[in-house]
Amino acid sequence: MIAAVKIRGNVDVPQPVKDTMTNLGLKNRNEIRLYEDTESVKGMLNKAKDFIAYGEVSEETVEMLEDRYGSAEVGNTINAKPPRKGFKNTKRNVKQGGSLGNHGEIDDLIQRMV
């Protein structure tokens, strides 16, 4: 299962990326959404990687989301709080020391948001 978190807003976003985020169901900042692990979803997440954080999520983290916000199923949008101690950097990729892009495992970020 893959989780995506919208980190940046919609200002100065190119229209194709904005359409992709709409198709993913990410409208507002700090929203978390769970997806099945398919190639089409991975392609859309990769296209929006400069505005979202995404990665594999463990069952323990999904259970934490269910305890805190109720239903944490594939396709449901969760309006979460910003992470404790904030994002590392909202303009840089994970490889550059920021918060955007593919995290591999995104459990740490989501657990700080719960």
Q: Grade residue 114 by pLDDT with cuts at 50, 70 and 90.
A: confident
H helix runs in 25-99, sequence order: 39-47, 59-69
Question: How confident is the model over 1-25, as pLDDT tens digits?
Answer: 999 999 999 999 999 999 999 999 9
Domain 2-113 has CATH 3.30.1390.20: yes
Query: What is the average pLDDT value for the chain, to the nearest integer?
Result: 93
SS3 77: strand
Cβ neighbours of residue 84 under 8 Å, at least 6 residues apart? 112, 113
Residue 70: pLDDT over 90: no
Burial class of residue 4, CB neighbours in 10 A (0-12, 13-18, 19+)? buried
Question: How confident is the model over 71-99, as pLDDT tens digits?
Answer: 888 988 999 999 999 999 999 999 999 99
Q: What is the rounded average pLDDT of the residues 48-53?
A: 96
Structure token pair of residue 20: 């992709």
% of the chain exceeding 70 in pLDDT: 100
Q: pTM for the complete prediction?
A: 0.91
Q: Count other Cβ atoms within 10 Å, centred on residue 111.
A: 15
pLDDT value of position 15: 96
Burial class of residue 48, CB neighbours in 10 A (0-12, 13-18, 19+)? buried
Q: Where are the domains of the chain?
A: 2-113
